[in-house]
Chains A and B, each alone.
Chain A
Amino acid sequence: MVKLKDVCRHVRSKNAGPFWVTFDLLFDGPEKFRDYHAHPALGPDTFQRLYGADPALVHRYLVPSLNMVKISHARTSPQGGWSGTCIVVSSSCGCWMSSWHNLFEFWAAVGTASFQPVPVKGSLRA
């Protein structure tokens, strides 16, 4: 089974305002991008299952010049709500550390979808 770490050189995530979360998957070269950018594991169903996201509000964008897939989804409750388990806290630009929450979940997400979970080591610049 192909692992995400074998096909991506970098994965990051960030809140895009209080109501959206966005994931950037930077694939390791054009071949990996070509082979995996449309993988069903990266589809709206995964985000629905893991985050309860409305599939209609899961948007996928392809950025071939960067071998990148960007996936954005609306949060089910806004950032910092009283029932949330985690505010995606970050400084306005030192945001890499804030990515732990989503990144970890995303590795897990992909792992249970069709890839294996992999350590986040080396994925965060902070």
Chain B
Amino acid sequence: MMDGPIKILVPTGSLGAGAREDEVRYGIARGAHAIATDAGSTDSGAAYLALGISKNNRGSVKCDLTILMRAAADAGIPVIVGTSGQAGGDRNLDWTRDIASEVAQELGLHPKIALLYCEQGKETLKRYNKAGKVNPLPPLGPLADATIDACDHIVAVMGPEPYMAALASGADIGADIILGGRTTDTAVLASFALLKGADVGAAWHAAKIAECGAQCTVSPITSAGVLISIGAAGFEVEPLSPDNRCSPESVSAHMLYENSNPFLLTEPGSVLDVTEAVYSQRDARTVAVTGSVWRPQPYTMKLEGAGSRRFQTIMLIGIQDRYVLADVDAFHDRMLAALYDRVHKTIGPAAGDFHISLRLYGWNAVSGDRLPSGTAAPREIGVLFVATADSQEMASQIAKACNPYFFHFPVRLDEELPSCGFAFSPADIDRGPVYEFPLNHVVALDDPMQLVRTVWIDMAQEEAA
């Protein structure tokens, strides 16, 4: 182990969210040995893996990479990025690689970059599945090959081992920059400390606490990142902004964040157990944590897949008609029944297994729940019409079939037609495919590197060539 604790600068909760130059400067002045951050999540939905795109714009990722790569090069420490390009698929990673290369050229740097790819071919996974190596996580059941085929892209979520190998590669001259595909946030942040021999439980626990940057601080809004210092018997965490602080509660509460179990965190090849962890205030801004336990278990990687089976067309209709608003639910039910009837009559069986929903924004669209009787009438509602069908063309045809009813469907038979307003013309908008996560499975492996491909870019050599 290195002398003293190993210090990891976590500049932001996610690359592109806004690293701050002053905070990075502070962390490096405090002796950071590496900069590490993830660059994505499944939180934003399946489209980013299915399409291989980032939810961030290129400029925001480039801005953060410029801050981090410049500071790291000056300090002579590595930059470690996981889940590149939001989803960590091969295309997401290549997008990030191109930005990093551009930043290096603009800064006049010649880094050695390790790219860790973890996207999986369908045939490979079917082989593992056939061999009984793929197991479901609740609430899903056993994996069918058809489910594999339904995915456009599948990644195996990496642990720290590929990062440790890239950092250690070739005697002392490992990677200056690691850009990883899909990885657990914790593995990205723990990898350097694990390689350098820090306490394993403390390294994993520190990484979990720091995974969202300043989210574990008392005032997450006022700063972006944190510094974790991992020693032989525990770790410490402090905000990178001098104005902010950590408290035992802010830190321990983050252990619970976005986990289904507050005490056990399953990682590739291990479980972190924090049941006995003790959080204490070290100084005004810093919290110390001890008692984190790491338990090895058989190595698995989680599989994440994304694909699309169905297509949608939407319309947005504003309604201020007071008769509609006086009994919104009755209007909804009558209108929906009329629209289904309309599609059956004008398209017939060709419509296939279609679905129509009317989501009443301003009333109950978010939850879909029935509101208690007596709820006051809204001033207006926005009806989001959503047609779902097996093809984009059919979804579009269904919307067009329904369109006239928003003009002509009477609320009361003795009244003139209701006043509805389409937001756009043409009213129907083809929204494209609906992306879903069909997989929630793990694959059992003998070797953590088995499903990972490491590609090196040496920008010094490229320049020389």
Contacts and interface: CB of A to CB of B under 8 A. Distances in A.
Given A66-B252, A94-B13, A125 B42 contact: no
A81 B307 CA distance: 11
Contact of A92 (B139, B212, B368): B212
A101 interface: yes
Please list the 10 inter-chain residue pairs (A to B) with the smallest Cβ-Cβ separation, ordered nearest first: A93-B13, A92-B41, A93-B212, A72-B260, A74-B139, A85-B368, A92-B14, A82-B434, A80-B45, A18-B437
B436 A74 contact: no
B89 interface: no
Interface of B: 13-14, 17, 38, 40-47, 55, 137-140, 212-213, 215, 220-221, 249, 252-253, 256-263, 310, 312, 355, 357, 359, 365-369, 388, 434-438, 440
B260 A81 contact: no
A104 interface: yes
Contacts of A16: 258-260
Given A59-B261, A101-B367, A68 B256 contact: yes
Given A18-B46, A92-B13, A93-B13, A78 B369 contact: no
Interface string A97-126: 010110011001000000000000000010
A63 interface: yes
Nearest to A80: B45
A72 B261 contact: yes
B252 A65 contact: yes
Contact of B138 (A50, A57, A68, A82): A57
A92 B17 contact: yes
Contacts of A26: 253
Interface string A43-85: 0000000100010010101010110101010110011111101
A125 B212 CA distance: 15
Contact of B260 (A22, A82, A88, A95): A22
Contacts of B221: 125
25 contacts: A15-B258, A16-B260, A18-B437, A19-B139, A19-B440, A22-B258, A57-B139, A61-B262, A68-B256, A72-B261, A74-B138, A80-B46, A82-B310, A82-B312, A85-B357, A91-B13, A92-B14, A92-B17, A93-B14, A93-B215, A94-B17, A95-B43, A95-B257, A98-B43, A104-B367
B22 to A, nearest CB: 19
Nearest to B364: A85
A61 B261 contact: yes
A20 interface: yes
Contacts of B55: 91
A95 B43 CA distance: 9
A24 interface: yes
Given A78-B436, A82-B310, A85-B367, A90 B43 contact: yes
Contacts of B220: 125
A122 to B, nearest CB: 15
A53 B436 CA distance: 19
Contacts of A75: 139
